[in-house]
A and B are shown apart, each in its own frame.
Chain A
Amino acid sequence: MKKTISKHFFLVVAVLFCSLGLSAQITINGQVTDDAGIGIPSVTVVEKGTVNGIVSDFDGNFQITVKNKNSIIEVSYIGFEKVVMEVGNKTTFNIILKEDIEALDEVVVVGYGSVKKSDLTGSVSSVKMEDIPLKPSNSIDGLLQGQVAGVQVVSPSDNPGAASVIRIRGGSSLRGGNDPLVVVDGFPIGYAGDLKQISPQDIASMEVLKDASASAIYGSRGANGVIMITTKKGAKHTTEVTVSQQNTFSRFNSELNLWRDPVLMAELSNESRVNGGFVPVYIGAEDANGIYYPSTGELKNGAWPYNTRWDDVVFRDPVSNNTNLAIRSQTDKTQFSLSTTYYTNQGVYIDDDYNKLNVNLNIAHKIFDDKVTVGANIIYSKGNRNNNGNLAYWRNPIFPIYEDNNSANDYYLIGAQDYSHPIALTDKRTNKNEFKDFIGSAFVDIQLLPALKLKTQLNYKTGHSVTDYYNPKVYTEDGTFNNGSGGINNWDNDEVVSETFLTFDKTFNEKHKFNAMGGVSYQYNETRASDLKAYDFLNESLGNGNLAAGNPEKQSVSNSLSETVMYSGLGRLNYVYDDKYLATFTVRADGSSKFGSNNQWAYFPSGALGWKLHNEEFIRNLEVFDEFKLRASFGISGNQGISPYLINSRYGQDQYYVNGNWQTTIGPGYVVGQDSQSGKKTWGGIPNPDLKWETTRQFNIGGDFAFFNRRLKVTLDYYNKYTNDLLRERLLSPSSSYDRMWVNDGEIENQGVEVTIDSRIFDKEKWGLNATLLFSKNKNKVVSLGDELASGLNTDALTGMKYEFSGSQVEAFRSIPNILAVGQPINVFYGYKVDGIIQSEAEGLAAGLEGNLAQPGEFKYMDLDENGVINEDDRTIIGNPNPDFIASLNLSANYKNFDMSLFFNGSFGQDIFNTKSFGEPSTMPLRWTQDNATNNYPSLRDGRTVYMSDWYIEKGSFVRLQNFSLGYNLGAEGIAGVKKARIFINGTNLFTITDFKGYDPELGSDGIYWGGYPKLRNWTLGVEFTF
């Protein structure tokens, strides 16, 4: 208080002096330098108490005219200590600015509050959007890629609106979900994956809470880490209008691997059919379905005229557009920000489109002598998606598009059951989705006492989505069987989160700094869905526009409603002693309606210690470290990714025909799935009152180091994450009438190392170069899959290892490639080993194979148990889809008004199961034949039983130039009224170095490559003006 009064007094005096005009104006000049003597550009020099101010030039020189010699000038620049001085009699000033450790000390948002970065004890990474090159991205997922060590962002799909997969420190759950929680301006809006509501342009910063000390404050939702998003607010004392426009042009980054030579295709097909003992197709006759296939001769001599490039028909070079208009302002009392983004995104398939409009408004206003701040954030987004993906670019090129070249609508169909004509589907089928989302929060922030603050925030979110679909009588399978089928699918979600907490912040005796927080939270979520379907349409012209026109006896409706409620209490204590020793303790209690009655409340404590050694005399004396901090933390967080109502008994519903009518039947036991082997229904519905969250105990030790005037910063972390009580389904004895029940059983361990090296390599007057290197290594291990019998685990014949299959069957191999095995990483590949290709029948028989599989040209499977027969007992672990480590390198440079950045991203050591290793146009001609006795490829043989084997496993390591950008900042002087103008060009996915033979090695966590089409390379042109 004393300080402020004296400050105010000083001001008043200054103003008084000014207004009295005690003496004449003086022009002063000078240079601002850092302590190395290098001039600092753009330093603000202001005459205190006036609006009179200028900025220094590139060499740090400035000139300012002040009222008189009693004027006070303030010289300030971000990251340096402010210099305040009276002009006096001097007219030339050489001002040396010292780097301000405290100001460099950015404030980092953590759950329910914020902390100075230097006081952090947990592992929290902060990403300021202004520090990273503007990347054209539809959602926040893309922005995070390569920014934070320990965070893996994988984008397996280029589809419009497709979500990325974000993993923080590896997956710690099998069935409960691995997506981190996302909190936007204090509102926990859900799990990462599909955050289409937030426009990337509106984000100011993102903080990633990685260890339990940081994430345990989110309790039963914190185990997968937390991403805190802060949206942009108005900048101080200005009004800014920003307009930006980006256009993105995309194209495949490699050629498609499709048949261009129908003759070769036909010859190889015939060869394959003959080898398999089937009648060849390309013989100039009708096949079993009555479709005429030309002979290879007809194809060769041109008697058969067609060679359609279906990929040209189906694909396009997509163009996307992103327009943003924002107004932001802040006065002493009020700040507001209004931002509007319109985004359109073309898919690579024709008519596969996406667009959305985002409006983001936030306002805060101070009342009651600035002691109370009230505010609101509102986000509205609305969009459309026309789904026209998965068109048949792989269609047989010997068939034309139209019956008689180019009479539209007269599509050439391959037989009566042709459901893949891409143009027919594009023209006649409907599948579109419209979504609307609203996110609103209102808060009141009250300074009750100088040290005590109360904040209460009420958040509301609602989302609505409608999908319209219609499958016509011809061209679609469902439509053909049902004589036209259509429907409307509605989805609706509401969420309310109300949170109130008190923060106490006080320093005692200048050495004991306390910050304590305590609060409560209430959360309610409701999801409703309904599906209206009709079949058997008389007239198709309305599509699904009039479902009542379908056969009234065949209409079907279904709907669902689910609710969850959660109450929480939470608290945190930060204590700093003498700016050297740090301690943080947090606790959260969550009570959730999803938890069983025997486990309704969960408690999540954490604790962390830190030691700022750079504030110790003996370290300071070394004069090496600008920062030297050690941290250690331990805590417990949870994962409550359970469907609601698993704790309730659940009845099934069916119908029984009595007295000439169908009657509804209801009773215990309902269908929860299908048996993977028999295809028969599996039954559940027995409640588990013991069901609870998954528990993750995480230990973290780390350090933050800075050298050379903070030009080199290094952060190291080691963590060990141990998750138990995994949510799983156990088997029940069949005499119970139930097959499965949800339980907590199983354990997983993740441990890893994260390194961040950040350096300003050159920091010269006119140019600079920064480099950031991230390295993350995570190793996971399935420790337990629960009780062997209750989980129905399989036993590996060779090692006795217990395992279960994970994921779904790959048809071509009639097996599930991934397993969860005790003692192994998640999702390792399981199958046979292949020792080349059999060259003679004798060799095949000697290898333990028989019949067709022992013939020359077949895979030589290895008899691992050496019992003379090849069977299921010869399977073993043949690969691991988890990378050994991931790394990324960000280089950014600036020269005068130019800036440039390069971002390399890499993933190393993972294996890929390439289902397309053989049988594609590029590999089929390399087949084994009598004349080409290769050891690399098998022969072509239709009907071959192919086993999952290591022959299909490839190395998946890659390094990719993920992003390149080049920008130019036009000087503010150039155009009247324009404060800032920037143009830039940005390229993503520019090149990839890899040994992988498929289109792209960036895959989902199961490591299965399905083929498909190449990834897109994107070039974006953008302009941005600030007024």
Chain B
Amino acid sequence: MKIKNIILGLTFIVGFVSCESLDVEPQGFYSDKNFYKTIEDAEASMLYAYDGLTSVSYAPVTYYITELSSDNCIVKPDEGADAQAFVNWEVNSQNALLSQYYRSIYIAINRANAVIENVEGKGFNPEDEKRLLGEALFLRAFNHFNAVRAFGLAPLQKSLIDKLNETTAFLPENMEEAYAFLIEDLTRAIDYLQVNRVTGRVDKVAAQALLAKVYLFAASAKESGVPKYDTILESADGLYAKAAEYAGYVLNSQGEYSHDLDLQNIYNVNEPNGPEHIFILSFDRSGTQEGDYSKLSKYFTPWLGGATVYLKNVDDTFSPTHDGWSVFQTTDDLYTSYESTDKRRNELLVSEIFDESGATIGTTADGFIPYAFTRKYIDPLFEGDKTSTRPYLIRYSDIQLVYAEATANNEGLIQYNQIRNRAGVSELADLGGLSKADFRELVIDERQRELAYEGDRLWDLRRKNIVQQEVIQAAGLSPEVVAFYPIPQREIDLNPNIN
């Protein structure tokens, strides 16, 4: 009987004592239970947020949206219908490229929010905390700015999403709310960050530069009567002044970044830490998958027979490159916008290719090269399809032109002329006879030539409300249609808070 009692007792002990341990610790992967314990964790998480920008669904897709829809590029004829839709201004809510872009924006935002939530007030060294917070706030604003420029009123994700009931975000009430959020994040980022250049990451200067661009977008959009921008409370002039103020900090209050006088050097893939690169995305050809390495060269370069071809450099040396897929093809509009002496046409657009010995293989004139293609994304050390070519996210010259446009005064004229001077085209002697609006139009034209293929043209056309005027395929469309792409259908289907 004793034995029986003991066994009975044991049975129940074995059975019921340990019931509380149904929680199994996750093994072999990271989760909220075992991560964000150290500064190294936070650092890795910060880089995960940057890494979001390198996604195949994000970095290359940017150019479908910004270059194809503008007057800069058309797409190769046998590219899919979703790509053709950008050229033809027939993008609808089902467009897969647009959906990828939208989704990629929010993936990057969630990663930034993860840093913000797990670093702020978690007891890290204050210096590290500020630096990481600043970078994360910058990235949250950078991605939201993409969303606002592409989709207008798009959800603002202010916190990390890790529950089902957090997956149905509301739209901001109006542009005032959206911009206030962008401005707040960037203001805090500027406050938290120091000037500290690391290729592929951002510092205080990048935050100032981005804030200047945000203000400029709002200023010009409000001024040009872009739909929905009338809700922004601040006056256009006030916004221009703010843009000028922050662009001014970039130009005058730091010594790390500067105007690069050597045009080809700006786009030297081996000099990602050149003077111009306030924010450049990081890729390296030693990566194992696309997203670690880049194939941007393949998108912009035409198919040239499959073999290695050589491009002639300014110093008469030659740089080899693979050929490409002819996806983004230069329009005549863009090509003819350059004066014949413009170095940006003569040194950065390729109209003649050579073999290893320097003999000409073909030219655009003889039709061997189907279109003059950009050499902004050329990697002479390419390995197969793998290159280190990087998107230029914020360039010093961009901010010079932001300043010129925002001030539209003699200070601005100096910056404007510096850009033209480097390109080997005539300077504008003075602003005599030009209204502010006239000068700003000149700056917009200059931006097209200077920032061609860099993913900015559509935004300029939109904020100046001149899409229909500049892009033949958009002629006659309503201001709302050209100002914003539709929110992707899956978002509308699955998010009851958006309709």
Q: Which B441-486 residues sit within 8 Å CB-CB of chain A?
A: none
- Taking the closest CB of chain A, its distance from the CB of B484, in whole angstroms, is 15
In the complex with contacts A666-B35, A668-B110, A669-B107, A500-B15 CB distance below 8 A: yes
- Taking the closest CB of chain B, its distance from the CB of A750, in whole angstroms, is 30
* B429 at the A interface (CB under 8 A): no
**B167 and A565: CB pair below 8 A?**
no
**B162 and A655: CB pair below 8 A?**
no
* B67 at the A interface (CB under 8 A): no
Q: Which B147-204 residues sit within 8 Å CB-CB of chain A?
A: 154-155, 157, 160-164, 166-169, 198-201
A732–B491 Cα distance when bound, in Å, is 8
**B14 and A737: CB pair below 8 A?**
no
Q: Which residues of A contact B169 (CB under 8 A)?
A: 733, 735-736
> What is the interface of chain B, defined by CB distance below 8 A to chain A?
3-4, 7-8, 10-12, 14-16, 18-19, 21-33, 35, 41, 44-45, 47-51, 54-57, 96, 99-100, 102-103, 106-107, 109-111, 114-115, 154-155, 157, 160-164, 166-169, 198-201, 282-284, 286-287, 291-292, 488, 490-491, 493-495
Pick from B15, B27, B103, B111: contact of A734, CB below 8 A. Answer: B103
A569–B167 Cα distance when bound, in Å, is 37
> What is the interface of chain A, defined by CB distance below 8 A to chain B?
446, 448, 454, 456, 498, 500, 502, 519-522, 559-565, 567, 569, 591-593, 597, 600, 644-645, 648-659, 662-670, 677-678, 680-681, 683, 686-688, 731-739, 741, 789-790, 792
**B292 and A655: CB pair below 8 A?**
yes
Q: Which residues of A contact B11 (CB under 8 A)?
A: 454, 456, 500, 502, 519-520
Q: Which residues of B contact A741 (CB under 8 A)?
A: 164
- Taking the closest CB of chain B, its distance from the CB of A923, in whole angstroms, is 33
Q: Which residues of B contact A597 (CB under 8 A)?
A: 23
- Taking the closest CB of chain A, its distance from the CB of B317, in whole angstroms, is 25
**A654 and B51: CB pair below 8 A?**
yes
Pick from A652, A656, A666: contact of B50, CB below 8 A. Answer: A656
Q: Which residues of A contact B24 (CB under 8 A)?
A: 563-565, 593, 644-645
Pick from A454, A564, A600, A665: contact of B45, CB below 8 A. Answer: A665
**B4 and A454: CB pair below 8 A?**
yes
Q: Which residues of A contact B160 (CB under 8 A)?
A: 668
A352–B96 Cα distance when bound, in Å, is 45
- Taking the closest CB of chain A, its distance from the CB of B294, in whole angstroms, is 10
**B16 and A520: CB pair below 8 A?**
yes
Closest to A500 in B: B11
- Residue among B47, B55, B154, B155 with max Cβ neighbours from chain A (10 Å): B47
Besides the known contacts A667-B115, A680-B56, 18 further A-B residue pairs in the complex with CB atoms under 8 A apart: A500-B15, A520-B11, A520-B16, A563-B25, A591-B22, A645-B24, A649-B31, A650-B29, A657-B200, A658-B199, A666-B44, A670-B29, A683-B107, A686-B167, A731-B490, A737-B103, A737-B110, A789-B493
- CB<8 Å pairs between A and B, sample of 26: A454-B11, A500-B14, A519-B11, A522-B15, A564-B24, A597-B23, A644-B24, A649-B32, A653-B30, A654-B291, A654-B292, A656-B50, A665-B48, A666-B45, A667-B44, A667-B45, A667-B49, A668-B32, A669-B111, A686-B164, A687-B163, A732-B167, A733-B169, A735-B169, A789-B494, A790-B494
**A659 and B287: CB pair below 8 A?**
no
Q: Which residues of A contact B495 (CB under 8 A)?
A: 733, 735
Q: Which residues of A contact B164 (CB under 8 A)?
A: 686, 688, 732, 741
**B107 and A733: CB pair below 8 A?**
no
**B157 and A562: CB pair below 8 A?**
no
Q: Which residues of B contact A654 (CB under 8 A)?
A: 48, 51, 291-292
Q: Which residues of B contact A565 (CB under 8 A)?
A: 21-22, 24
A652–B31 Cα distance when bound, in Å, is 9
Closest to B35 in A: A651
**A732 and B494: CB pair below 8 A?**
yes
- Taking the closest CB of chain B, its distance from the CB of A615, in whole angstroms, is 36
Question: 10 tightest CB-CB pairs across the interface, nearest first?
Answer: A520-B15, A667-B48, A736-B167, A737-B110, A734-B103, A665-B48, A665-B47, A561-B27, A593-B24, A733-B495
- Taking the closest CB of chain A, its distance from the CB of B5, in whole angstroms, is 10
**B111 and A667: CB pair below 8 A?**
yes
Closest to B61 in A: A680
Q: Which residues of A contact B35 (CB under 8 A)?
A: 651, 666
Q: Which residues of B contact A446 (CB under 8 A)?
A: 3-4, 7
- Taking the closest CB of chain A, its distance from the CB of B463, in whole angstroms, is 23
Closest to B50 in A: A656
Q: Which residues of B contact A659 (CB under 8 A)?
A: 198-199
**A567 and B19: CB pair below 8 A?**
yes
- Taking the closest CB of chain B, its distance from the CB of A814, in whole angstroms, is 14
- Taking the closest CB of chain B, its distance from the CB of A369, in whole angstroms, is 13
**B491 and A735: CB pair below 8 A?**
yes
In the complex with contacts A522-B15, A668-B162, A657-B106 CB distance below 8 A: no
A656–B289 Cα distance when bound, in Å, is 11
Q: Which residues of B contact A680 (CB under 8 A)?
A: 56-57, 100
A668–B36 Cα distance when bound, in Å, is 11
**B154 and A735: CB pair below 8 A?**
yes
Q: Which residues of A contact B21 (CB under 8 A)?
A: 565
**A657 and B287: CB pair below 8 A?**
yes
Pick from B47, B96, B162, B292: contact of A678, CB below 8 A. Answer: B96
A733–B161 Cα distance when bound, in Å, is 12
In the complex with contacts A563-B27, A648-B26, A658-B199, A736-B161 CB distance below 8 A: yes
Pick from B14, B166, B287, B491: contact of A498, CB below 8 A. Answer: B14
Q: Which residues of B contact A738 (CB under 8 A)?
A: 161, 167
Q: Which residues of A contact B28 (CB under 8 A)?
A: 559-562
Q: Which residues of B contact A655 (CB under 8 A)?
A: 51, 287, 292
Q: Which residues of A contact B111 (CB under 8 A)?
A: 667-669, 737
- Residue among A644, A662, A681, A733 with max Cβ neighbours from chain B (10 Å): A733
- Taking the closest CB of chain B, its distance from the CB of A914, in whole angstroms, is 31
A811–B216 Cα distance when bound, in Å, is 50
Q: Which residues of A contact B286 (CB under 8 A)?
A: 657, 662
**B100 and A662: CB pair below 8 A?**
no
Q: Which residues of B contact A651 (CB under 8 A)?
A: 29-32, 35
**A666 and B41: CB pair below 8 A?**
yes
Q: Which residues of A contact B284 (CB under 8 A)?
A: 657, 662
In the complex with contacts A658-B198, A665-B47, A648-B33 CB distance below 8 A: yes
Closest to A600 in B: B22
Q: Which residues of A contact B114 (CB under 8 A)?
A: 667-668
A657–B199 Cα distance when bound, in Å, is 9
A775–B411 Cα distance when bound, in Å, is 93
Closest to A645 in B: B26
In the complex with contacts A665-B44, A667-B48, A668-B160, A734-B96 CB distance below 8 A: no
Closest to B167 in A: A736
**B48 and A448: CB pair below 8 A?**
no
A593–B200 Cα distance when bound, in Å, is 41
Closest to A448 in B: B4
A564–B47 Cα distance when bound, in Å, is 32
**B106 and A663: CB pair below 8 A?**
no
Pick from A593, A670, A686: contact of B22, CB below 8 A. Answer: A593
Q: Which residues of A contact B14 (CB under 8 A)?
A: 498, 500, 520, 522
**B494 and A652: CB pair below 8 A?**
no
- Taking the closest CB of chain A, its distance from the CB of B252, in whole angstroms, is 28
Pick from A448, A656, A677: contact of B54, CB below 8 A. Answer: A656
Closest to B160 in A: A668
Pick from B49, B56, B106, B200: contact of A658, CB below 8 A. Answer: B200
Pick from B45, B167, B198, B282: contact of A733, CB below 8 A. Answer: B167
Closest to A689 in B: B163
Q: Which residues of A contact B494 (CB under 8 A)?
A: 731-733, 789-790
A561–B19 Cα distance when bound, in Å, is 22
A545–B19 Cα distance when bound, in Å, is 46
Closest to B82 in A: A678
- Residue among B11, B283, B292, B488 with max Cβ neighbours from chain A (10 Å): B11
A569–B19 Cα distance when bound, in Å, is 11
- Taking the closest CB of chain B, its distance from the CB of A603, in whole angstroms, is 14
- Taking the closest CB of chain B, its distance from the CB of A660, in whole angstroms, is 9
A738–B110 Cα distance when bound, in Å, is 9
